[in-house]
């Protein structure tokens, strides 16, 4: 997962994450990582169309984004 996050930051390519909010709700987000520190990452969230801060401990999975569309 850490490797995928670094990939998005270095290559400036979107990834998809599954995130557990502080309220206990799961969400799947497509993000573009802008910065990373030991506890958080700052990313553009394509779902919310704004910059968001994500706690690294709340990210359950991360994968490279696929742009394939099913017709």
Q: Output the pLDDT for position 68.
A: 57
Tell me the pLDDT band of 71, cut-offs 50, 70 and 90. Answer: very low
Read off the pLDDT of residues 7-52 as tens digits, 9 standing for 90 and up.
Answer: 999 999 999 999 999 899 999 999 999 999 999 999 999 999 999 9
For residue 26, what are the domain limits? 2-64
Give the strand pairing for 50-55 and 59-64.
unpaired
The CATH number for 6's domain is: 2.30.30.100
Residue 26 inside a domain? The answer is: yes
Residue 43 inside a domain? The answer is: yes
Give the DSSP letter of residue 40. E
Please state the domain count of the chain: 1
Please give the C-alpha separations between residue 61 and each of 18, 35, 70, 71, in angstroms, as whole numbers. 5, 18, 23, 26
User: How many Å apart are CA 70 and CA 59, to the nearest integer?
Assistant: 26
Residue 70 inside a domain? The answer is: no
Whether the pTM exceeds 0.85: the reply is yes
CB 51 within 8 A of CB 34: yes
């Amino acid at each position: 997962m850490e490797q995928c996050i670094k990939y998005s930051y270095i290559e400036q390519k979107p990834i998809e994450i599954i995130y557990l909010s502080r309220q206990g709700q799961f969400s799947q987000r497509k993000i573009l990582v802008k910065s990373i520190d030991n506890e958080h990452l700052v990313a553009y969230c394509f779902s919310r169309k704004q910059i968001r801060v994500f706690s690294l401990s709340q990210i359950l999975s991360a994968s490279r984004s696929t742009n394939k569309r099913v017709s």
